Structure 1
Amino acid sequence: MNTFSELGLNEQLLKAVDELGFIQPTPIQLQAIPVLLSGTKDLIGLAQTGTGKTAAYGLPLLQLVDEKQKHPQALIVCPTRELCMQIVNEITLFKKFSHGIHVTAVYGGASIIMQIKDIKRGVQIVVATPGRLIDLIERKAINLDQIKYVVLDEADEMLNMGFQEDIEFILKNTPKRDSTWLFSATMPAEIRNVSKRYMQQPKEITVGKMNTANVNIDHQYFTTTAFHRYEALKRLIDFNPGMYGIIFTRTKADAQEISEKLTREGYDIEALHGDLTQAQRNKVMSGFRDKTLQLLIATDVAARGIDVQGITHVINYELPDDIEVYTHRSGRTGRAGKTGVCMSIVHAREVGRIRQIERMVQAPFHKLEIPSGKDVCRKQFYYFIDKLLQADISHGDYETYMPMLQEKFNDMSKEEIMKRVAAMEFDRFLKYYENSEDLNVRERGRERGVERQESHAGRKREGKKEFGGNGNYTRLFVNLGTKDGFYKASFLQFILDLSDLRKDVLGRIDMKEMNSWIEVDKNSANQMIRAIDGKKYKGRRIRMNEADSFVRKKTND
């Protein structure tokens, strides 16, 4: 196992890394740090968001700069103020035992006078957004003549935001730099052109396949009409009551409008977009990090640099105009080894773009049905019951009130009490979804005819116990269904987690209220049965066996 001590870092940095709990370098750190410590080699690092890029360049910078020289020696340029502050926070943690090294952030939306004062006090590392840095250069408030190292972080996003001229201006104003380090999730032609003009035979490191998505993310899409897009969003949120996520829109007007609508309807949500002041933005982000906000709705530009742990879902209210942006959006979830879900709401004409993104990120997309109103109510009900059962009653003098409660409920059955508790919690959902319509777009014309023919053929095959009609699959029965609180995506995740198998071994899944049938690759069927049969779910023993044996047993009985 590779460790940080093998990479050539000094004792002070190793002590800081150890105190932070870092044990094994990430792939980008493992490959980049030894190269960057030379201080004279240009480098292009291609890796997704959340792979540890800040440490990959931050640790070498702290070792290379001279703490005795009280002027800027290293410059880190990034697209947004949020990312700017995040980088400074991380480098500050890394330099805990490297006394005498100072780092400061300069970005728009904050007092430029205070930032100039910070620079004049003497700093070795400056982290800046392009606009504010150019403002400081033109005011002659910062001297870049002695900059030795320039880092371009999230370079592709800076180009997407129109900063190409600014980046070139900055590079032209750092003529004495020893090396340029460029980090990016993707490699568009514009970045390649910048590297050719301003870098000398750069070492190129690619972690994973370029543009590929995080393997811990389940990519889902839901097809509806443009008219029903907002209603579909609400239904997906209601169907995932424990969601802690980010919703992406194309424009700040959409972000603000949807945020206001959802807030009026009782959701804990705030919008994040370019019209907010820095104080407003800090307040929103503080609420989101503290989880007093369940949801954040943001534009792509405003969301750059957000690094919040534990995000369970990303929802694309609309697909991004540039499909490469999808990897940035989806990369907000499924971090630090955890799983996440990225949902996209699309209309029928956008399915072709889903296929493009699927090819680009090299990960399968699952087409799921927008849940019905009954599905939502059932899911909310199970979620509430779970919370009720897990409620901590160890604190508080509840015994004092028990005689009064017993007297109040003396003439009421347990069943009636439970109904009243459910009514208080679910009255709003039940009324709202009582006559809810189907939001899914159904295929029409020739394709729908083909679908009907295939469905009819499938039913005939199922009657012959062939189910999916594929001889490579074994059909399994399991006594779990929608009544247990599952829907297809969560059920799929549940059986894969228990069996330690991959998605590609599964065929069709047919879920009913009380039980389900699953197609599993013949070579993996026994492993799944061994892993799941006999386990318990919510106190009930799970039964799993080959579907044919189940049918024969019923016949014999």
Structure 2
Amino acid sequence: MTTFESLGIEEGLLQSLETIGFVTPTPIQEKAIPVLLEGTKDFVGLAQTGTGKTAAFGLPLLQLIDKTQRTAQALVICPTRELCLQITTDLEKFSPKNKVAITAVYGGTSISQQVRDLRRGTHIVVATPGRLIDLIERKAINLENINYVVLDEADEMLNMGFKDDIEFILKETINRHSMWLFSATMPPEIRQVSKRFMNTPAEISVGKVNSTNVNIDHQYFLTQHINRYETLKRIIDFNPGIYGIIFTRTKADAQHITEQLIREGYDIDALHGDLTQAQRDKVMGRFREKSLQLLIATDVAARGIDVQGITHVINYELPDDTEVYTHRSGRTGRAGRSGVSLSIVTPKEVYRLRQIEKLVNTKFHKMDIPSGKDVCRKQFFHFIDKMLNTDISHGEYETYLPVLKEKFEGVEKEEILQRVAALEFDRFLRYYENAADLNQRQDKDARGARERQGGKGFSRNSSYQRLFVNLGTKDGFYKASFLQFILDMSGLNKDILGNIDMKEMNSWIEIEPAAGKKMIKAMDGKNYRGRKIRMNDAATGGGRRR
């Protein structure tokens, strides 16, 4: 049997692996680790998410770096903040305690703190492209001593439009000994990167390990990002007998959504990393007893949950990691029962949904978000069924019948039923009386929101508003750094954006219509390096494309 020791992993790392329960290498680890430990050979690894890629490149990195030199010797580039943090956490788990300094740099948080972390010295930098380029341009990071460069989820980064940014970064790592590229697929763009920046790389490919329970129905609801919370409420209301888990990416989201739902009368509580063990046990006790109808949890906090009878799993957002999706959906449909895994998806996330479909070999069924009338009708019939099935054998209800008959004398049966319905459903009827249609109808355009044309032109998406801004590559921006700049300026989430088309002097931004005014207000008239920013709706006041 192959072991990590037989692959050449040193004693200190072996002890860490034993502590966290890593015993047998996965196929990608078994094939990659011996090659990467040589330290001088370029490498391409084709493997799906969830096959153990982080350990496949992380263990060799931790073994190869010179721990006596506190300089950045290895660089791991990945597409998203969430994956950046996940890789950093995994590397810290693998590393012998306090032996290796690992620094994560990513957008959406204080760049000043990250600069301070880098100045204190580090061995391995894990970065998203936009923030890394920002640090390079500020001269806050020196890549001259980088010996090893890892591109993780390379196809994902190209899908997100980071090709120019990756090439810029690779040109800065002129002294690297080797470059390791990991990807689920090998599209032509990745092949071009490998030919341009790699020297006869070793290439291996392993099969996927993800699979899903056949008893689970995988469904998704397509809506705009701004309607995500309302869509969640409508899904809950349309399933009055639901007993499930709602997954969020962050503990802040888990807490915020829980507080909103509690204020609106839902039986729900949160499970996240800020809870003490006593608080966690209390929440789980209430959930198992079904005094809570719903539990909202982060992926980390939900590890180890094993509760029978869960009818629904709701993905408030799709996870970045396919293996995480498999773990989430696997909370339902257990012990031979059927279950439902629902995902709330924005147009920008459809491409990710399609990837998950392929990786887990499962078709996701597109569902319409129920209308307000549909919700009221469903709740009404649920109440009627509940009332008709109520056990009245354990009480002396007949003693009240004379009084009830006297009270309702002269009131028609139809009126009594109407009054019961009004008493029970007044809140629902008022709330959903003029409920909006939350469905995103342009499926074709939604798919186009993530298509990158590679210089062949701008893929317009009619479901977005298009903004013009007089900033471009001449102002020193690459696409990733420009994306981070507009998000920092506006305080908006990247999920509300579609394509960004950058030219030398100007740029065009696709944005969800509900967020367009906020971005214009945040940026129009402000100054950037002595230049007044001009931003407006391209349809009504923007410049002509060059």
TM-score normalised by L of structure 1: 0.51
Whole-angstrom CA distance in 1 between matches of 2:205 and 2:232: 39
**What secondary structure is seen at the aligned counterpart in 1 of 2:324?**
coil
- How many Å separate the matches in 2 of 1:417 and 1:23? 63
1:415 aligns with 2:407: no
Aligned residue pairs, count:
362
* More relative contact order, 1 or 2 (CA 8 Å, 6+ apart): 2
Alignment CA distance shift 1:65-1:233 (3 Å): same
- SS for the counterpart of 1:44 is strand
Tell me which residue corresponds to 1:3.
3
Inter-partner Cα distance in structure 2 for 1:259 and 1:181: 42
Question: Deviation at 1:88?
Answer: 2.1
Q: Please give the secondary structure, in 2, of the residue aligned with 1:25.
A: coil
Which amino acid is 1:333 matched to? Y
* CA separation of 1:11 and 1:164: change in aligned 2, threshold 3 A: same
Report deviation, 1:308: 6.2
Q: Which residue of 2 aligns with 1:242?
A: 244
Tell me if 1:62 matches 2:62: yes
CA 1:74–1:380 in structure 2 vs 1: closer, same or farther (change >3 Å)? farther
Question: What is the 5 A alignment of 1:267-282?
Answer: 267=266
- Per the alignment, do residues 374 and 168 of structure 1 end up closer, same or farther by CA in structure 2, a change over 3 Å counting? same
Q: Which runs of 5+ in 1 are unaligned?
A: 249-254, 272-282, 298-304, 319-325, 347-352, 382-412, 419-426, 438-557
TM-score between both structures, scaled by the size of structure 2: 0.52
Task: Provide the rounded CA distance (Å) in 1 between the counterparts of 2:166 and 2:27.
Answer: 27
- Equivalent pair of 2:313/2:329 in contact (CA under 8 Å): no
Higher mean alpha-carbon deviation, 46-55 vs 3-12, is at 46-55
Q: Distance in 1 between matches of 2:27 and 2:173?
A: 30
The question of 1:19 aligning with 2:3 is answered: no
Q: Which has the higher helix share?
A: 1
1:121-520 correspondence runs (5 A): 121-209=120-208, 214-216=211-213, 218-221=216-219, 233-235=235-237, 238-246=240-248, 262=261, 264-267=263-266, 286=274, 294-295=295-296, 309=303, 315=314, 328=320, 331-335=323-327, 342-343=341-342, 361-363=360-362, 373=379, 415-416=394-395, 431=424
Q: Is the 8 A contact 2:313 2:331 kept in 1?
A: no
1:19 Cα deviation (Å)?
1.4
1:44 corresponds to which residue?
Answer: 44
Q: Structure 2: how far apart are the matches of 1:186 and 1:230?
A: 33
Unaligned runs of 5+ in 2: 284-293, 333-339, 346-351, 398-419, 433-546
Query: Aligned partners of 1:129 and 1:335: how far apart in 2?
Result: 25
In structure 2, the CA distance between the partners of 1:150 and 1:240, relative to structure 1 (3 Å rule), is farther
CA drift at 1:14: 0.5
**Aligned position for 1:114:** 113
Structure 1 residue 76: Cα displacement:
1.0
Cα distance, 1:84 vs structure 2 = 2.4
* 3-state DSSP of counterpart to 1:6: coil
- Tell me, in whole angstroms, the C-alpha distance in 1 between the residues paired with 2:259 and 2:113: 35
Query: Which is worse superposed, 284-293 or 159-168?
Result: 284-293
Partners of 1:247 and 1:295 within 8 A in 2: no
- 1:243-289 deviations in Å (ceiling 9; x for gaps): 242499xxxxxx99999975653458899xxxxxxxxxxx9875799
Return the alpha-carbon distance in structure 1 between the equivalents of residues 60 and 185 of structure 2.
23
Residue identity matched to 1:2: T
For the Cα contact (< 8 Å) 1:154–1:185, is it kept in 2? Answer: yes
Are the structure 2 counterparts of residues 154 and 34 from structure 1 closer, same or farther at C-alpha, using a change threshold of 3 Å? same
Counterpart AA for 1:214: S
In structure 1, distance between residues paired with 2:122 and 2:159: 30
Aligned partners of 1:232 and 1:345 also within 8 Å? no
Q: Secondary structure at the match of 1:335?
A: helix
Maintained 8 Å contact 1:71/1:122 = yes
Displacement of 1:17? 0.6
The alpha-carbon distance between structure 1 residues 92 and 247, as it changes in their structure 2 partners (threshold 3 A), is: closer
C-alpha distance after superposition, 1:197-234 (max 9, x if no partner): 2223333333325xx95334734237999999667522
Deviates more, 1:79-88 or 1:144-153: 79-88
| d(CA) in 1 for partners of 2:353, 2:167 | 34
Q: What residue number does 2:102 align with?
A: 103
Which secondary structure does the structure 1 equivalent of 2:327 belong to? coil
Task: Note the alpha carbon deviations across 1:26-70, whole angstroms, 9 max, x for none.
Answer: 232222222211112222333333332221211110111111222
SS at match of 2:164: helix
Secondary structure class of the residue paired with 1:243: strand
Alpha-carbon RMSD = 5.4
Q: What is the CA-CA distance between 1:147 and the residue it aligns to? A: 0.8
Name the CA distance, whole Å, in 1 between partners of 2:396 and 2:25.
Answer: 55
Q: 2:245–2:314: 8 Å Cα contact kept in structure 1?
A: no
The one-letter amino acid of 1:309's match is R
**1:86 positional shift:** 2.7
| Aligned residues of 1:17 and 1:94 also touching (Cα < 8 A) | yes
Amino acid at match of 1:335: H
In the TM superposition, residue 129 of structure 1 has moved relative to its aligned partner by 1.9
Aligned to 1:455: none
User: Aligned in 2, Cα 1:85/1:269: closer, same or farther, shift over 3 Å?
Assistant: farther
| Contact 2:4 2:24 (C-alpha < 8 Å) held by counterparts | yes
Q: Relative to structure 1, is the Cα distance of residues 287 and 207 closer, same or farther in structure 2, using a 3 angstrom cutoff? A: farther
Q: SS in structure 2 opposite 1:4?
A: coil
Deviates further, 4-13 or 40-49:
40-49
